[in-house]
């Protein structure tokens, strides 16, 4: 079955709920480590209005250590088995994990390496005909926040995403199945993160739906004056999401689904100037 374009499957704005099946993610590590709890959380987020839930079994917080495919599969497979028939994404850099996730019903592969981490990932996505998110990251999770440097952060990230879009298409992925993510917090300073949001319209001109993941990021704690804070508030997360929406973002990866769904629905109504879509 040929899938419709990504923007038809998830019209702007659509919210993606985060379910980290890990002991060490930056804001919810350990909360959903048990498969039954993770599945319950996923169903709750869908009930609150998430268009899809993103299941991840490997932390990508700054300084995190990786896990092998066997450990990642041991974490996510029991969750995916409990979520058959619902809209699920698999957050992974490993082709083996992506393939297993797709076999268990995942319709989107969220790859923070933009298909660079595993040479087989492009083929897995292309052969399955699923959607994929290509994200920008400078370095890798263990070292990405060690003095990130850019000429112009927006120009550099845009060029990277344009290049990875071409690479994905060359690997056989359908262009209409791709979204891009500037990678807020992945090898950027707080000011660089804010500049990416401020000039997000430039990234939107790539021509593919743009996903943003601002939820609870430490940049938002800095904005609120907490210089050592690791986690931003829900209110700050919602405010940043609305700023991103106003600049063209289409997809929003969040931990707190309900307030984002409500705020984005209101922002979208204002944008179109009428209540009904």
Q: pLDDT tens digits for 171-210?
A: 999 999 999 999 999 999 999 999 999 999 999 999 999 9
Residue 2: what pLDDT?
Answer: 87
Q: How large is the average pLDDT for residues 249-261? A: 98
Mean pLDDT, residues 144-165 taken together: 90
Q: Exposed e or buried b for every residue in 43-68, given b needs 16+ CB within 10 A?
A: bebbebbbbbbbbbbbbbbbebeebe
Residue 19 has pLDDT above 70, yes or no: yes
Range of weakest confidence among 30-39, 80-89, 122-131, 211-220: 30-39
Task: Specify if 220 maps to a domain.
Answer: yes
DSSP string, 42-103: HHHHHHTT-SEEEEESS--STTPPP--HHHHHHHHHHHHHHTTTS-EEEE-S-HHHHHHHHH
Query: Measuring CA to CA, how many Å separate 57 from each of 54, 86, 122, 247, 261?
Result: 10, 18, 20, 31, 25
Residue 47 falls inside a structural domain: yes
Look at residue 30 in the predicted model and tell me its pLDDT.
67
Instruction: For residue 222, indicate whether it is catalytic.
Output: no
Residue 56 lies in a domain: yes
DSSP annotation of 129: T
**Active-site residue (options: 61, 75, 94, 217):** 217
Total structural domains within the chain: 1
Percent of the chain at pLDDT above 70? 94
Name which of 153, 152, 160, 156 is nearest 134 in CA terms.
Answer: 160
94 carries an active-site annotation: no
pLDDT > 70? residue 13: yes
Do the domain assignments include residue 180?
yes
* CATH assignment of the domain containing 13: 3.20.20.20
Q: What is the pLDDT of residues 43-71, one digit of tens each?
A: 999 999 999 999 999 987 666 577 899 99
In a domain, 258, yes or no: yes
Domain-located, residue 277: no
Within a domain: 1: no
Query: Which residue segment(s) compose the domain that 263 sits in?
Result: 6-272
The percent of residues in the chain predicted with pLDDT above 90, rounded, is 84
How far apart, in whole angstroms, are the C-alpha atoms of residue 256 and residue 248? 21
Torsions phi, psi for 275 (to 5 deg): -70, -50
Tokens of 230: 């690791």
What does DSSP say about strands 108-111 and 14-20: parallel, antiparallel, or unpaired? unpaired
* Mean pLDDT score, 13-35: 81
Which of these, 127, 48, 141, lies nearest to 93 by C-alpha position?
141
Indicate whether 191 belongs to any domain: yes
For the chain, give the longest Cα–Cα distance.
50
């Amino acid at each position: 079955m040929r899938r419709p374009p990504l923007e038809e499957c998830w019209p702007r704005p659509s919210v993606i709920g985060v379910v980290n099946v890990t002991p060490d993610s930056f804001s919810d590590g350990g909360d959903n480590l048990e498969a039954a709890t993770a599945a319950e959380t996923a169903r709750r987020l869908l009930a609150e209005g998430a268009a899809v839930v993103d299941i991840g079994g490997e932390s990508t917080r700054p300084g995190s250590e990786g896990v092998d495919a066997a450990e990642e599969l041991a974490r996510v497979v029991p969750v995916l088995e409990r979520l058959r028939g619902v809209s699920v994404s698999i957050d992974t850099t490993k082709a083996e994990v992506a393939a297993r996730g797709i076999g268990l019903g995942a319709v989107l592969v969220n790859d923070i390496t933009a298909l660079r981490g595993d040479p087989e990932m492009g083929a897995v996505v292309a052969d399955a005909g699923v959607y994929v998110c290509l994200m920008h990251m400078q370095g890798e999770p263990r070292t990405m926040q060690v003095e990130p440097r850019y000429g112009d952060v927006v120009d550099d990230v845009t060029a990277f995403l344009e290049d990875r879009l071409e690479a994905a298409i060359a690997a056989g992925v359908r262009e209409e199945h791709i979204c891009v993510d500037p990678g807020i917090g992945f090898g950027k300073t707080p000011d660089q993160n804010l500049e990416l949001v401020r000039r997000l319209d430039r990234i939107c001109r790539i021509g593919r739906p743009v996903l943003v993941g601002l939820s609870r990021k430490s940049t938002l704690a800095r904005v609120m004056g907490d210089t050592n804070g690791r986690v931003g508030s829900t209110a700050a997360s919602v405010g940043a999401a609305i700023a991103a929406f106003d600049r063209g973002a289409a997809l929003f990866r969040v931990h707190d689904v309900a307030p984002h769904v409500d705020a984005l629905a209101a922002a979208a109504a204002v944008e179109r100037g009428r209540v009904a879509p």
